[in-house]
Amino acid sequence: MAFEVTEVATVLQGLKWEPRALDERTWRCTLTTSVGTVKLVVRHAGAWLYVSVIPFFEAGSVKKWGRNKYPVGFLGRLLAVNRNLTMAKFALDDDGDIVLQSELPTESLTPALLANVAQLLLRTTEQYRAPVRDALLDAGRAASE
């Protein structure tokens, strides 16, 4: 039996994250962490559930680079980080912002797995936000020299 859209908010409430519905299939939790505010978005898209930290960086913490304008070498470094991650990957959204995300098939999804993945994305953000931001800034400095 597939994971139902009605179960998403229940799982997030169980984590005490106070989800806010953005529409009938999308929720956002705004969480205060050791690395600042984290916005976790969960979207039920039928066969898939998308769990994302979007944007990955806290507002104002890095220059707005925009689509295809990241410093040379930075995106390659970000892809190298992906090799070290399990169940979560860095990607670019439609606006060119960096996101951390996980995609879960609803056919085999359980509430416990969703809770685990959401917590994993939060821990991964806490672990990687500063190093990835520093790599972006270093690449930007190197590109401007």
3-state secondary structure of 113: helix
Residue 46 covered by a domain: yes
Total domains in the chain come to 1
Neighbours of 28 (CB within 10 A): 18
Greater confidence, 62 or 113? 113
Q: What is the CATH number of the domain that holds 97?
A: 3.30.1460.10
Q: List the domain range (segments joined by +) for residue 132.
A: 6-107+126-144
Please report the pLDDT score of residue 10 as a whole number. 97
Interval 72-115: pLDDT, tens: 789 999 999 999 999 999 999 888 889 999 999 999 999 999 99
The pLDDT of residue 143 is above 80: no
Residue 115 resides in a domain: no
Residue 96 falls within a domain, yes or no? Answer: yes
Mean pLDDT value of segment 13-28: 97
pTM: 0.91
**Tokens standing for 123?**
């821990």
Instruction: Identify whether 116 is part of a domain.
Output: no
